[in-house]
Each structure stands twice: as structure tokens, then as C-alpha cells.
Structure 1
Amino acid sequence: MIGEITVQVRVKDIKKGQRWYQTLLHKEPDFIPHEGFAEWEIIPGCWLQVAEGVPAKDSGPIRSSVVDIEAERERITKKLNVENFVIYSREEVPVKWCTFTDPWGNRLGFFEYLNQTKKKQE
């Protein structure tokens, strides 16, 4: 049985990377165990680790749910200089989704449930 999950991305400059991810996640790191490394608990038991190093090529995306995907796109294109990106949807899929990259090439993304009322009831 799996109890918790950690996902790691690497950035070439940990100071810039930490600032970038603080802005993306709306909070300071929850844990900085040593130099060159920072962790955020995204939801209970799910951690995002940002480590100084060579970013992995063609990995991801790591997608997080958001309440308003269009508002998040506007926020990160302005505050984080993320290139504008397409938000996708399909009639048979109950979410909208997108993919973008951080300044180091890590593929990230968001998804939004189309029926938030249904999502909250589950």
C-alpha cells in the first residue's frame, strides 16, 4: 500500500527556482532540509521537491487541480512570465487541462473539473 507521494523537479539555480515555485504554489516551502533543496506539501501526503541540478528532459507533466484554470493561466503568464498556453477540453472528458514549462524545462500543468459541484460531493 502506498502511503505518501513525492515528485521531484530539478532547477539549475535553487534560489530562482524556490522563488518561482513559491509564486506558483502561493506559499513558502514547508521543508528545506539542506542547501539546494526545498519541499512543499501540496496536499496531505503529497510533496513537491525542487532540487538544484540538471532538469530531466521530456518528463511530466505534473498537473495540479485548480478552481479556475483561466485565472491561473492569467496569473502565471503575468507573474512568472510563462508563455501563454492552450487550455484543452473534450466533450467526453470531465476536466479542462493545460501544460506549460517552468524556466528550466520541467513540464507542469493544471486541470479544472468542469462540474465543481459534482467534484465536491464525491
Structure 2
Amino acid sequence: MFREMTIQFRVSSFQEGLKWYEAVLGRPADFSPHEGFAEWELIPNSWLQIAEGKVATGSGPIRVCVGDMEKELARLEVELGVKDVEVFSRVEVPVKWCTFSDSWGNQFGYFQYKQKGMEK
């Protein structure tokens, strides 16, 4: 039985990566035990880590649930220059979703439930 999870993205410039993920997540890292490493608890016991090192282009995607995807994408366009993000939807799927890349090629994204009250 699994109790926790982490996913790690590598960035070639830690300070730029830290700034990017602080903007995307809307807050500073929860844990930064040493230089070149930061971690956010996205939901209880589930952590996103960034670490300075050799980039593995195309890692991910990891997607997080948001209440208003269009509002978040508009914010990221202003703050980080993220633009031309395609939002996908299928009739049989209860969410819409999108994926975009950070400056190092790691894939991040959002999803949003189509109907209010479906969130867990």
C-alpha cells in the first residue's frame, strides 16, 4: 500500500526554476533542505520536487485540479509568458485539461471538473 508520492523535475537553473514553480503554484516551497532543491506538498502526502541538475526533457505531465482553468492560464500568461495553451475536453470525460511546459521542457498542467460539486 502506498502512503505518499513524489515527482521530481530537474531544472538547469535552480533560481529560475524556483521562481517559475512559485508562480505556477502561487506560493513558496514548503521545504527546501539544501541548495538546489525545493518541494511543495500539493495535496496531503503528495510532493512536487524541483532539483538543479541534468534536465530530462519531456518529464511529466503532472496536472493539478484548479477551480477556474481560464483564470489560471491568463495569470500564467501575464506572470510567466505561458501562452497558446490548448484546453482539451471529451464528452465522456468529466474534466477538461491542458498541458504546458516549463522553461526546461518538463510538462505541467491543470484540469478542471466540468460540473461544480464533482471535486473530491
- Shorter-chain TM-score range: over 0.9
- Runs of 5+ in structure 2 lacking a partner? none
For residue 82 of structure 1, give the secondary structure of its aligned residue in structure 2.
Answer: coil
Inter-partner Cα distance in structure 1 for 2:18 and 2:84: 22
For residue 19 of structure 1, give the secondary structure of its aligned residue in structure 2.
Answer: helix
Alignment of 1:9-28 (within 5 A): 9-28=9-28
Inter-partner Cα distance in structure 2 for 1:116 and 1:33: 38
Quick one: which amino acid aligns to residue 69 of structure 2? Answer: I
Quick one: which amino acid aligns to residue 91 of structure 1? Answer: V
* Dislocated runs of 4+, deviation >4 Å: none
Following TM superposition, by how much is the alpha carbon of 1:83 offset from its aligned partner in structure 2, in angstroms? 2.8
Inter-partner Cα distance in structure 1 for 2:58 and 2:106: 8
> Any conservation in 2 of the 1:61–1:106 contact (CA below 8 Å)?
yes
CA RMSD of aligned residues (A): 1.1
Following TM superposition, by how much is the alpha carbon of 1:117 offset from its aligned partner in structure 2, in angstroms? 1.4
> Any conservation in 1 of the 2:57–2:104 contact (CA below 8 Å)?
no
TM-score by length of 2: 0.95
TM-score by length of 1: 0.93
Alpha-carbon distance change, 83 to 118 in structure 1, aligned in 2, over 3 angstroms: closer
For residue 96 of structure 2, give the secondary structure of its aligned residue in structure 1.
Answer: strand
Which residue of the partner structure matches residue 112 of structure 1? 112
Following TM superposition, by how much is the alpha carbon of 1:116 offset from its aligned partner in structure 2, in angstroms? 2.1
- Runs of 5+ in structure 1 lacking a partner? none
1:63 aligns with 2:63: yes
> Any conservation in 1 of the 2:9–2:59 contact (CA below 8 Å)?
no
Inter-partner Cα distance in structure 2 for 1:59 and 1:105: 7
Following TM superposition, by how much is the alpha carbon of 1:78 offset from its aligned partner in structure 2, in angstroms? 1.3
> Any conservation in 1 of the 2:31–2:39 contact (CA below 8 Å)?
yes
